[in-house]
Amino acid sequence: MKRTVILGVTGSIAAYRSADVARALMRAGFEVRTCLTRAAQEFVTPALFEGLTGQPCLTHAFDEPVRGRMAHIDWARDAAALLVCPATANAIAKFANGEGDDMLTTIALASDATLVICPAMNPHMYADETVQRNLKALRARGAVIIEPEEGDVACGENGQGKLASVERIVSITESVAKTSALYEGLHVVITSGPTYEPIDDVRFLGNRSSGKMGLALASAAVRMSARVSLVTGPTHGVPHPRVETTRVTTAQEMLDATAALCGEADLLIAAAAVADFRPQAKAAGKIRREGPVTLTLEPTPDIVATVTERYPKLAAVGFAAEPGNDLESARRKLEEKRLIAIFLNDVSRPDIGFESDQNEGVLLLKTGQSVAFPKASKYEIAWRILDTVRPLIPPQ
Ligand SMILES: Cc1cc2nc3c(=O)[nH]c(=O)nc-3n(C[C@H](O)[C@H](O)[C@H](O)COP(=O)(O)O)c2cc1C
């Protein structure tokens, strides 16, 4: 496993905090190699990072610490992650546009390591439409954005723009930099997001699922070397570029797409928050507001139960989103739906579950064991779920 993180520091007033990030990454077992932009050197020096990391610090596109070897290529090849901390609005724009006019942007172009960006800037700059558009474009290409916090920023204003905490940056970088061959040769199908069940041509029944857990599972499975197919309901999330994505709207469409993929799959992870009910009949046009309306609802198909019945040898992991932790009901679902495991999480808590970047829960295994997962990022939880269920997947 590669354990080198390239730390790119750009010209933000928060540059001084990157020294703490470098130290914390080293404590977490990474070799840290630093690259400073010209503007970063107005705030911090190469000597600081060379002293802290014991590695040369690059500052210029033509730096060559090993004579005759192009540093931007060597460093790009060795990196498990390229962490840009802090990232200025200018650097974000350059990454988004594929510019390579200094050492840092050239390394970013040459490397296939995940780009982890920690924006830090004045709240007006952060809210600027172009900055947000550039971040969106980078996310779509697989970059991980560690969003800045709200609070007082150096210029005396208050709002979102303050560099994220060192702990958060290090924890996310650690999980991004991890790769493994645990799922080499396996095909994993993941369902994700909500489903929308039409009431008429305009309205639908849906739920608050953001699809973040499914996206985290898909990214983690890719980094564990799986071939990953994602079947997702309507969300704004952007899947990892190596994920094969099918977008659907209703529970029936999700079932059809999932069943079509599962014939040759090794593992199904059903993380979608599928609507349990749908209107029995969809009204044509738009129902007029002329008095009370009664909707008759019918149950939607149970996707995971239908698929495991059709493919009895398929290993499947379910998710039970219960308000309050009902272990009994989750254990019953595990057996009735022939799952190898079920992840039980409490969606009534605002700090975890729907829309949150974090989760917490209990994984019940078909072996009778249960594993508690303390609160962590959805990516970290995803990694642990995949790690825990791997021995339960029968060889095909
Ligand atoms: C004192 C000072 C503080 C700055 N802080 C920030 C900042 O926090 N975030 C930011 O995006 N730009 C900040 N800038 C502007 C950048 O330094 C400037 O856009 C520079 O061109 C960035 O170059 P780089 O992205 O190559 O490092 C600051 C400028 C000055 C003079």
Whether 262 is catalytic is: no
Q: How far is CA 267 from CA 116, 216, 228, 242, in A?
A: 29, 16, 10, 17
Q: Enter the tokens of residue 102.
A: 């200094």
Cβ of 120 closer than 6 Å to ligand 1, yes or no, is: yes
Q: Indicate where the chain has its CATH 3.40.50.10300 domain(s).
A: 187-392
Distance 142 CA to ligand 1 centre (A): 25
Cβ of 205 closer than 6 Å to ligand 1, yes or no, is: no
Per-residue pLDDT reduced to its tens digit, 225-256: 999 999 999 998 878 778 999 999 999 999 99
pLDDT of residue 152: 86
- CATH architecture assignment, domain 187-392: 3-Layer(aba) Sandwich (3.40)
pLDDT of residue 352: 65
Per-residue pLDDT reduced to its tens digit, 143-184: 899 999 998 888 888 899 999 999 999 999 988 888 889 999
* Fold classified for 4-177: Rossmann fold (3.40.50)
pLDDT of residue 1: 46
Residue 5's DSSP bridge partners are: 32, 81
Which stretches of the chain score pLDDT less than 50? 1-2
Contacts of 385 (CB under 8 A, 6+ apart): 217, 269, 317, 341, 343, 363, 373
Candidates 12, 117, 128, 163: which one to mutate for ligand 1, based on the most atoms within 8 Å of Cβ?
12
Q: Indicate where the chain has its CATH 3.40.50.1950 domain(s).
A: 4-177
pLDDT of residue 238: 77
Residue 231's DSSP bridge partners are: 191, 246
Long-range contacts, 167-170 (Cβ 8 Å, 24+): 167/24, 169/21, 169/83, 169/85, 169/116, 169/118, 170/21, 170/24, 170/25, 170/28
Q: What residue's CA is closest to ligand 1, atom 2?
A: 13
